[in-house]
Amino acid sequence: MSADANITKKERDCIVSIWNGFQNGFPVRVSTLAESMKIRPPTVEELLDRLEGKGLIQRNRGMVVLSEAGRTVYRRIMMDHRALETFLVQCGDDADSACKMVSNFDYLIDERTALLVLKRIGNPALCPHGRQIVEAI
């Protein structure tokens, strides 16, 4: 098992952008996603169609939110991401490089593996950026 609802890198990025865009309390808009992902709105629509097909998001008149399943996927990606990122920083990498590197494959790592890594690095509560490794959302 991977972090897996069987998603691609772009779908992963989109899920993360949807979550980040939501931070202020309002659902993110398609145009905002397009801007933050540096792709055109129709390409975002395409991506959203696929994510909706997988049950990971809900849409309403241009507003986009993660579904319960989508939030679960997000949580998994982030736990995996922050576990590895924290490990790399412990190895001597800087937080930004580690973050960029790990973004390329965090969505491919299974939960079991992430938990093993977390235990090994001492179950820290926070990642190098100061965020909760196991996020409650």
Partner DNA sequence: ACATATGTTAGCATCATACTAATACCCTTT
Partner DNA sequence: AAAGGGTATTAGTATGATGCTAACATATGT
Only one residue has tokens 């982030």, namely 78
* DSSP H/E element including 64: strand 63-66
CA distance 115 to 117: 5
Shorter beta-carbon distance to DNA: residue 19 or 128: 19
In the region spanning residues 64 to 93, those forming contacts with a second copy, defined by CB under 8 A, are 87-88, 90-93
Q: How far is CA 42 from CA 39, 68, 80, 102, in A?
A: 8, 25, 30, 28
- Determine the interface stretch with DNA among 33-41, 74-82, 87-95, 122-130 (rule: CB under 7 A): 33-41
Query: Per-residue x/- mask for a second copy, residues 29 to 68, rule CB under 8 A?
Result: ----------------------------------------
Question: Helices (H), strands (E): how many in the chain?
Answer: 6, 3
Shorter beta-carbon distance to DNA: residue 45 or 93: 45
Query: Per-residue x/- mask for DNA, residues 39 to 78, rule CB under 7 A?
Result: xxxxx-xxxx-x--------x-xxx---------------
